[in-house]
Amino acid sequence: MSPLPPLLLLLLSLEPLGAALIRIPLRRARGAPNPLREWGQPGEPPRMGAPSPGNKSISVSLSNLLNVQYYGDIGLGTPPQIFSVVFDTGSSNLWVPSRRCLFFSLPCWFHHRFNPKASSSFKPNGTKFAIQYGTGRLSGILSEDKLTIGGVSGASVMFGEALWEPSLAFAASQFDGILGLGFPILAVGGVRPPLDALVDQGLLDKPVFSFYLNRDPEAASGGELVLGGVDPAHYVPPLIFLPVTLPAYWQISMERVTVGPGLTLCPRGCAAVLDTGTPVITGPSEDIQALNGALGGAPLPAGAYLIPCSLLPTLPAVSFLLGGTWFNLTAQDYVIQIVFGGVRLCVSGFRGLDVPPPAGPLWILGDVFLGAHVAVFDRGDPRGGARVGLARARARGAGPDHAQAQFPGGGRPG
């Protein structure tokens, strides 16, 4: 079964969703969800990685599906039942489908389900929970069991067993569930987020993590998530650190946005959220309409814009001024290219989303932005507040000198 028709539909409907290191290499997805896979059977354990010597590092493979979904494998229970999850900075709960989910919950037919009877370390809780994402909602019950992430196991975590997933977006997704990396205040039901549980139980030195998302559609690797720090090999120095202005989402201040030399948006500054769970960049509808107009985009249903692929070599840079440094995106960064039936489609990576006050208006810098940059998410400590570090991602296989020349970390707008 070809994955492209449901993925194209999904793309048109997407909205926001020296320390010890846990290293999670990102793996590129192949194939499509299989609805004929035996319902409720856990997946075969993938290569979950092993701790790096002396550092408590953990490696878990993550996948990149057409630069639209990034996800990776974790284990829940004893022995571990394997699930693919999105590592989402825009939420703070961990959930996976349950073997006890309702029969008419269609996504259960497409995904692995957690079986509490197959785990010797399972602890029932039974508290009901419900979560609303930009592209779907779900509900279920809370449970407790052991988390395996890479080569490290034994962390007790509270997670959700999804019993009802009415949204078709989850059925079309290759991931089974979501692991939230937002702040504890976002956690539904007051659950301790997985990152905090790892720190509390001594499996991670500090609540810091970083993302490197590989945007090369031909690469086998989808990038890497590092829990506990950042790998310098992933980026071109320097890292530019920005304070988090609202410690719930990873929200920062943005000075302005420019499209080539002729269009300036957010001229008096605005709020921006860094969100790995959102595949595109969103902003106020009026701004995004002007931006896509400057790119020659034609509106499609559900707020997407189609761009003639022949225009890519001539399209202007889109630049974001953050902390006094310009972070530039080229057309290769912000245009999502899909080949379907021998035809190449070019879809704009900018979508309109109006977030009402008091939370909005704001921009969401999703994977289109984060794919071009390495982002370090630092929750801070009592002596210092939370912050985000950004630097241009290094081309895979490029040496430091080559990367510095080709990919400056900041500078003047495009």
Q: CA 41 → CA 5, 44, 114, 362, distances in Å?
A: 26, 9, 8, 41
Tokens of 411: 């500078």
Helices (H), 141-244: 168-171, 194-200
User: What is the per-residue pLDDT across 291-337, written as a single tens digit (0 to 9) for each?
Assistant: 999 999 999 888 899 999 999 999 999 999 999 999 999 999 999 98
Share of the chain above pLDDT 90, in %: 56
Distance CA 50, CA 45 (A): 14
Count Cβ atoms below 10 Å from residue 384 Cβ, excluding itself: 10
pLDDT above 60: residue 408: no
Residue 167 pLDDT? 73
Mean pLDDT (whole number) for 268-278: 94
What residues contact residue 134 under an 8 Å CB cut-off, 6+ apart? 14, 15, 16, 17, 278, 353
- For residue 279, the tally of other CB atoms under 10 A from its CB is 27
pLDDT recorded at residue 109: 84
Q: Whole-model pTM above 0.75? A: yes
- Residue 27: the pLDDT is 54
Q: Is the pLDDT of residue 199 over 60?
A: yes
User: Could you give the percent of the chain with pLDDT greater than 70?
Assistant: 78
Measured between alpha carbons, how far is 369 from 326 in angstroms, rounded to an integer?
13
Neighbours of 114 (CB within 10 A): 28
Write down the pLDDT at residue 217. Answer: 66
| Beta strands 152-164 and 94-97, pairing class | parallel
Give the residue-averaged pLDDT of 56-73.
Answer: 54
Written as six digits, the tokens of 133 are 């994402």
3-class DSSP state of 177: strand
Mean pLDDT of 173-186: 91
What residue has token string 């009026």? 286
Handedness of CA 232, 233, 236, 242 (dihedral sign): negative
Task: Please state, as a whole number, how many other Cβ atoms lie within 10 Å of the Cβ of residue 191.
Answer: 24
Is there a catalytic annotation at residue 275? Answer: yes
The rounded distance, in Å, linking the Cα atoms of 83 and 45 is 9
Residues 6+ apart with CB under 8 A from 381: 206
Q: Which two tokens stand for residue 290?
A: 């002007």
Residue with more model confidence, 102 or 31: 102
**pLDDT value, residue 34:** 31
Task: State the catalytic residue, choosing from 73, 176, 205, 275.
Answer: 275
3-state secondary structure of 368: helix
Catalytic residue among 88, 176, 205, 367: 88
Q: Are strands 152-164 and 81-88 parallel, antiparallel or unpaired?
A: unpaired
Which residues contact residue 124 at a Cβ distance below 8 angstroms, ignoring those fewer than 6 apart? 116, 143, 144
Cβ neighbours of residue 128 under 8 Å, at least 6 residues apart?
A: 139, 140, 141, 142
**pLDDT at position 182:** 95
pLDDT tens for each residue of 355-394: 988 888 999 999 999 999 999 999 987 677 999 999 999 8
